[in-house]
Amino acid sequence: MARPRTNGATRTAKREASSVQRGPDGATLLRMYEAMLLTRLIDERGIKLQRQGRIRFFVPCMGQEAAQVAYAMALQDDDWIYPSYRDTGTILARGVPLTEYLAQLWGNGLDLSKGRQMPNHFAFADRRLVSISSPIGTQISQAVGTAMAMKRKGAKTVCAVSFGDGATSSNDFHAGMNFAGVYQAPCLFVCQNNHWAISLPVSEQTAQSDLASKADAYGFEGVKVDGNDAAAVYQATLAAAHRAREGGGPTLLEMVTYRIGAHSSSDDATKYRDAEEVEDWKSKDPIPRLCAVLEERGAWDAKRDAALRERLTKAVADAVDAVEKAPQIGVASMFDDVYGRVPPFLEEQRESLLDEVKERGGIGTGHGEFPL
């Protein structure tokens, strides 16, 4: 009897299913560690840049690096991701160049969004990273729509959406989860449960202790995973993505982690959090934890770690220097990318604005404060 032919999609599915059983290999763990360390170094530098007045606003993610980097690396390049504004690790794990990431914090001539978004509100179409939404949870229903569209097209891709524990109380969370369950959308709901929705603890915004169990109400699987264990996050995401590709529908992944830093550069977390709680979670830091795993495997040591930190620190410094030297975006750029053919009335407004800039010698940027 002739052996049945196996197509490429089936082979890919078998390889992925096998990888789920084995977990991430040594090379993948090393890539995750480097991306997590780079994320931490940018986090530390970003806060300093804001305090020095060189950027206006920054959203740190210290303590959540494993939950962000590992899930992103478990996805395929053609999968879509709807990140939140705290997802620096996800963006870097997706391969976004440092200068492109940093330029958005300045909103200057290197910024792909041309200064039209708040800092930490990125969009990288070539990496399938959809523009970040400021309102809490709105990206959830958007991501489900993308997943439903991919399913109708017969694509073997998934759509992942990231959000915090506070977003599980938003309207869009419930609407998105319901649509995903009804239509069996290939969507991964990645909840980074960092225990705090700004100053509100998770215990005061939901009566459900396990956020993953919220998936039960919508007819699909919820998985709770240690969000500070990079290998566990990777495996859980890979398994959920495999199910979605094979028609198994959505999964809610609750990554239990902790936001060690403030909500943003405009927040003082010491006003509402106990110092002992923070110190306890610092002892569970995902970066030293993964480093210890690599050392136990004989794949890492202090000398290589020091060399990596030196290289990444220099890369961040060089990128900051390059971005700060970039020219500003002209104020008249507000008229670009709106119409395929600019109507006459906007041309008149544009010329009027340029005349005013020339007469005044520039336009003031104002002194407003960011609200978050």
Q: Which residues are catalytic?
A: 259, 263, 272
The dihedral through the CA atoms of 121, 206, 168, 235 has a sign that is positive
CA distance 266 to 370: 8
- C-alpha angle 104-234-300 in degrees, rounded to nearest 5: 90
What are the φ and ψ backbone dihedral angles of 175, each rounded to 5 degrees?
A: -65, -45
CA distance 89 to 59: 12
The alpha-carbon radius of gyration of the chain (Å, integer) is: 22
Residue indicated by tokens 């899930």? 71
Sequential DSSP letters for 72-138: HHTS-TTSEEE--TT-HHHHHHTT--HHHHHHHHHTSTT-TTTT-S-TT---BGGGTBPPPPSSTTH
